[in-house]
Each structure stands twice: as structure tokens, then as C-alpha cells.
Structure 1
Amino acid sequence: MENERVDLTCKERYTQNISKLFWTRSVDDTSVPVSEYAVGGNIASPSLVFEHVQWSDEGIYRCHMTTISGFRLTVTMRLFVNATNMMPCRCEYRRTLEYWSSKIIQNKTREELIMELEPKLQMMKKEMEMNKTQLSSSICKRTSAPDKRKSSETMGLAGATFIFIVVGLMMLVDILTIVKHVKSAVRCWNSKKMEKLKLEDMKIKMKSKPGTNKLKNEISESFA
């Protein structure tokens, strides 16, 4: 019956002079973990004890023993639990329901329960979180559906051509403006360079002729 104490014990004559002892469990020929609510099942306490056995604890249990001499022994037994408090729940979430019901039964305030269950709640929240970028709605927003119709291809080419022409004209105007400014800057620089060369030539000529200080001053004033 559920909620009763159940002891699964290895035969006494096998529990002497053993060096290793552990229990395994299988359900429908599938290996499953031994219930976390069971205690014992080791060399110090060979028996596997269920203080409040539940339907989800059913299965075939095997006690594996290794003697000091290296001889291995296995004791097999089947645990069947009659669920009387509720209809049998043949699902893996039965133990989860039992866990939460055990927490509710305790005489604790809401704040105390929240504090105690905070790690469990955070774990559940993390498991339920979804990556929004992997949702189909997000993927569809960023994915263009293929359209092989001739009219669609024509409209696409026309739109691409129009955009190319507009952008090309804007770039062409900017390029022509830049070229114009560059040419103007080059002409200005060449003009200043020629004036400087002329001034140097005139200074050289004046140095070669005497009595040209007055003319030199006039030339300097004219360029100033």
C-alpha cells in the first residue's frame, strides 16, 4: 500500500564478508535510477528502506554484492505498490506531483515556502525559457519567401535598376564636384608658384644692376 514503510533486504547469509554492495532498479526491462526517497542500500546499511513508499517506486530491484574474495552475488526482488488514494498515474511526472504535495502539506507560511522552493523555481524557470531568435515567428520575419514568377523577377530587376541609377547619379555629381575643386586648387597653387618665381627672378636682376634700391622698394610695395 502507498505511504507505508517497505524494507528490501538482502538475504542475511550473503551480507557477511562483503566489500561492496549497491542496489539497481529496472522497470519494463529498462534500467532506471533508484528512488531518491529510499535510504540505505550500502555496506553500512544493506537494506533499502522506503519510509513512505509510492506507486512510482515500483520495479525490479537487485542487490549486487561483492565478497572480499571477489565473488559476486545478486539478489533480485520485485516491488509492487497498490495505489489506493488516487487513480494510478502511469507517467513520469508522478514523483513531481508527490514532491510538490509534500511541500504544501507542511505547516509553513507562503514566504517560507517561496524561500525554500526558490532554487527549484529558478531551475524550472530556466528550463521553460525559450530563445526568441529561434522561434518560427522570428525566423520568418528575417527570411524572404522565394517567388519564381516572371512578373516578380521583372519587378525586382526594375527596382534594382532604378536604385542603381539614382545612387549612380548622386555619386557622379559628387565626383564631378570633387574634380572641379581639385582642379581649382591646383591652378591656384600653380599661380602662386609662378608669381613667386617671377619675384625671385626680378630680385636677382636688381642685384646685378647698381642703383636699383628705389626700384626694388617700388616692386616690393607693388606686391605687398
Structure 2
Amino acid sequence: MPNITELKWTRSVNGTSVIVSEYARGGNTTSPNLIFERVKWTDEGCYKCIVKYSSGSMQTVEMKLYVNATHMQPCRCEYRRRLEHWGSKLIANKTRQELLIELESELKEIRKYLELNKTTLSSSIRKRTSAPDKRKSSERMGLAGATFICIVVGLVVLIDVLTIVKFLTKSISFLNYKKLEREKVKDKEIRAMTKRFKKNKWNNEFPESTA
């Protein structure tokens, strides 16, 4: 019998070539038999053994595997079942980019399912929360620091308030001065008009005596 130079197993489902189960062992020139350590419901399919001899001749043996899942313990992990489902549909001769395009919708759902809200993580909460320290020395240091900050901020605010009050006082005084000036000018104009009116009236009443 000629020596076996090459031996490989392939699997196809509905005419589409897919990968052999990850739990399958053997299937090579050293151990020709394909042995399953574990069987999954996705392992069903048409298995083909291709043997190449040293004489150059080839032999192909084809068989079908059916998995009776009636008495199998059902997998409760939906994510695991999805991985097995898509793992059974992978075609060996496809590139990474082609696989990413084909699995894009499923990958989006997985990313959305695994996405975490960073604001609810303990690391984010700890960044915004001060750790309690009940030591008396820590309390005194905290009070001293808070007092110092309040004094500095208070002085700055007080200086600004005094500056604003001074500015408002000057502005009000200036406006009052302008108002008084306008009133004085108005009074002078009224007096001049009154004086001219009286003079005209006198001239109209006593024109001869004036002449």
C-alpha cells in the first residue's frame, strides 16, 4: 500500500465550505481519524477526507454527520451560541476585510451590548468623590485651608466691591452736578424770558412815556 503524503478533512454546510470544529482532533497523516472531544449542534455537516498518496493518486471519502440535540444540555449563553453560529459559517479562503464586512451588523450589536457607561464605573465615581478622613489633624488642616481660601477670596471680593461703590458714588455725584447745572441754566433762561416779557408788556402799555 503506498504511503500517505497528505491528508486533510473539510466540512461543508448546504454546499458552503466552513471550518472544522475546534474540538476535533486528528485528521492528519499521523492520526487520520477525526475525533471529536466535544460535539456541538453546529458541528453538523458534510465531512470530506482527501487523501494523497506517494504514487500521486488521490482518494476522497465523504460522510455526513448529524447531531441529535434532543438530549443535549441546551446552552444558556446567547453570546456563545452566536459565536458558534458564525464560526460555522466562516469560509477559510476569505480575507479579514471580507469577514468584517460580512459580520458588520453582528459586530455592531455585540459592541452595543458590551459597551459600558463610563460615568457609572467605580473609577469615575472615585474621581469625583473625596475619601473620608476622620483624623483630627486632617480636619484641622482642612479647616485651616478652607479659612485661608475664604480670606483670600473675601479680600479680593471686598476690594472689587469698594472699587465699584466708589465708581458708582462718583458717577452719581457727577450726574447730580450735571443736573444742577442744567437746572441753573434753565432758571436763567426762564428769568431772562420773564424779564423780556415784562419789558415788552410795559412798552406796549406805555408807548408814549417810553418814547
**Residue 109 of structure 1, CA deviation:** 1.9
**Structure 1 residues 52 and 97: alpha-carbon distance in aligned structure 2, compared to 1, 3 A threshold:** farther
TM-score by length of 1: 0.48
**Structure 1 residues 101 and 178: alpha-carbon distance in aligned structure 2, compared to 1, 3 A threshold:** closer
Q: Give yes or no for the alignment of 1:54 onto 2:39.
A: no
The equivalent of 2:110 in structure 1 is 124
The equivalent of 1:197 in structure 2 is 183
SS at match of 1:204: helix
Q: How far apart in 2 are the matches of 1:92 and 1:103? A: 21
Counterpart code for 2:143: L
Counterpart code for 2:169: K
The equivalent of 2:94 in structure 1 is 109
TM-score by length of 2: 0.50
Q: Tell which structure's C-alpha radius of gyration is larger.
A: 2
Q: How many residues align?
A: 135
SS at match of 1:144: coil
| Residue 181 of structure 1, aligned match among 167, 176, 182 | 167
Identity, % of aligned pairs? 49
The equivalent of 2:125 in structure 1 is 139
**Structure 1 residues 173 and 53: alpha-carbon distance in aligned structure 2, compared to 1, 3 A threshold:** same
**Structure 1 residues 151 and 178: alpha-carbon distance in aligned structure 2, compared to 1, 3 A threshold:** same
The runs of at least 4 aligned residues of structure 1 exceeding 6 Å deviation read 35-38
**Residue 146 of structure 1, CA deviation:** 0.7
Report if the CA contact (8 A) 2:42-2:84 is conserved.
no
Report if the CA contact (8 A) 2:43-2:67 is conserved.
no
Counterpart code for 1:54: V
The runs of 5 or more residues in structure 2 that have no matched partner are 1-10, 12-40, 45-63, 197-211
**Structure 1 residues 119 and 52: alpha-carbon distance in aligned structure 2, compared to 1, 3 A threshold:** farther
**Residue 147 of structure 1, CA deviation:** 0.7
| Residue 147 of structure 2, aligned match among 161, 174, 177 | 161
Counterpart code for 2:151: I
| 1:129-179 deviation digits (Å, cap 9, x = unpaired) | 222222222222122111111111111111111111111111111111111
**Residue 36 of structure 1, CA deviation:** 9.8
Q: How far apart in 2 are the matches of 1:155 and 1:175? A: 30
**Structure 1 residues 115 and 187: alpha-carbon distance in aligned structure 2, compared to 1, 3 A threshold:** closer
**Alignment RMSD, CA only?**
3.6
Q: How far apart in 1 are the matches of 2:114 and 2:179? A: 78
**Structure 1 residues 144 and 54: alpha-carbon distance in aligned structure 2, compared to 1, 3 A threshold:** farther
Q: How far apart in 1 are the matches of 2:157 and 2:167? A: 16
**Structure 1 residues 102 and 209: alpha-carbon distance in aligned structure 2, compared to 1, 3 A threshold:** closer
